[in-house]
Amino acid sequence: MAAEEESRFNLGCAFLDQLPHRHVDVEGAFGVEIDVTDDMRGPAGSVHGGLVSMLVDVAAASSIARATGRPVATASTSIQYLAAGREGPLRATGTVLRASEALGVVDVKVFDVGRDNRLLAAAHVTLRFLSGEGYVRQT
């Protein structure tokens, strides 16, 4: 069961923040949800894969940053698209697999909540920890 966070959660830039979204806590794991709107769909009626990739990236970066308290930048992503997202909301949850001095690895799963939590994508994301000078806090 997911508990919705009251405050507005930032997706990382003003462009993405226009999407209807929220942070959710899923059994102690960090999650982010976006509501599916018609303008997110491609010609076949499913959510564009780039939006799924964005969810993966946000869930991974937020999960490791929250776990370590350190700012990160995505170094690499491997995504397996398993099904089409059609109903929504789409929910991505991240689980930290490893955090070393320089890198972190996060396992991310994306689900179509409105289709009985159908698994849409599975990903591993490697993130590089930034030094204090490399981090620019958004206001």
- Is 66 a residue whose pLDDT tops 70? yes
Where does residue 59 rank: exposed (0-12), middle (13-18), buried (19+ CB within 10 A)? buried
SS3 of residue 84 by DSSP: coil
Asked if residue 33 lies in contact with residue 11, where contact means CB atoms within 8 angstroms, the answer is no
Please give the pLDDT value at position 1.
42
Name the helix (H) or strand (E) containing 93.
strand 90-99
Q: What φ, ψ does residue 33 adopt, rounded to 5°?
A: -120, 145
Does the domain at 2-134 match CATH 3.40.50.300? Answer given as no
Asked if residue 40 lies in contact with residue 51, where contact means CB atoms within 8 angstroms, the answer is yes
Sign (positive or negative) of CA dihedral 8, 13, 19, 21 = negative
**Predicted TM-score of the model (pTM):** 0.85
Domain residue extents for the chain: 2-134
Helices (H), 48-131: 49-68
pLDDT digits (tens, 9 = 90+) for 100-114: 999 999 999 999 999
- Is 4 a residue whose pLDDT tops 70? no
